[in-house]
Amino acid sequence: MRIAFSPCPNDTFVFHALVHGLVPGAPELDVTFADVDVTNTAALDGRFDLVKVSYAALPWLLDQYELLPCGGALGRGCGPLLLTAGGESSEDRRPGGPPGRATSGAGRGDISGATVAVPGDRTTAYLLFRLWAEQTGQVPGRIEVVPFHEIMPGVAAGRYDAGLVIHEARFTFQRYGLTSLVDLGQWWESDTGLPIPLGAILAKRGAVDAAAATDWIRASVRAAWADPEASRAYVLAHAQEMEPAVVDQHIKLYVNEFTEDLGPDGHAAARALLHRAATAALVPPVTL
């Protein structure tokens, strides 16, 4: 059975037991590692039996795939950040926060006319950014799709006015001298009261028993929680030069109760995201 997920610590942690034959009854897996902006497009031709994609990509994939209620990335306090090389951070603008540093361009807190680097055009991060920009009336001048690892260096070097980042960048962006202009997860949560639906696990219709796959993945999640050290070497081997402390923060934030079971709040978050996006004509309408 062919499976594709990212080399990020949350995915390798979740799937370690499953891909290493430690889940009774599960099939042998042929693993492809690919960032989610790649799988969002690669899944279109149905090449994978199980695949991790962005929730934002579901409208183009649910004719071939079924959403599984586990294994993905949802949560609170884990949303994408819009970073700039100057200006007030989202923390600075809280009541009682320090005064901001006035700069030019996006650093003033408005990205109208700015060049913004994003990690993929069908990522949840970019969809949240578009919803936020529409609500706030800010229209960027240009969007550039950039490999994730190039975004923060590019913003720091002045190639882009702002950059949209996810995952471990929440813990490392200050190293580049960047500030958080907007925490889009915080914006989403305050606007909806719902968790942020980032990454989903899909099973190919007609090729995978979705109920069985759900059981395998839940067993893999539970095995990871029961013995975190069992997966450590595997996680670190694929962690793209992240130091162990960042890896641990990453896993703690993105592997949570929604990873084991979406539950009512997780399903509501996914429906809300895609309904809002369809209403704004950003994605085709879809029923979850």
Report how far residue 98's alpha carbon sits from residue 201's, in angstroms, rounded to the nearest whole number: 41
Of the candidates 167, 238, 250, 275, the residue annotated as catalytic is 167
Catalytic residue flag (residue 275): no
* Strand pairing report for 81-84 and 179-183: antiparallel
Name the β-bridge partners of 162. 84, 116
- Going by C-beta distance under 8 Å and a sequence separation of 6 or more, which residues neighbour residue 232? none
- Three-class DSSP category at 28: coil
Name the β-bridge partners of 67. 202
- Report CA-CA distances (Å) from 63 to 43, 46, 118, 288: 11, 10, 27, 12
Please return the burial class of 121, using the count of CB atoms within 10 Å of its CB with bins 0-12, 13-18 and 19+: middle
Lookup result for tokens 């920009």 = 133
Residues known to be catalytic: 167
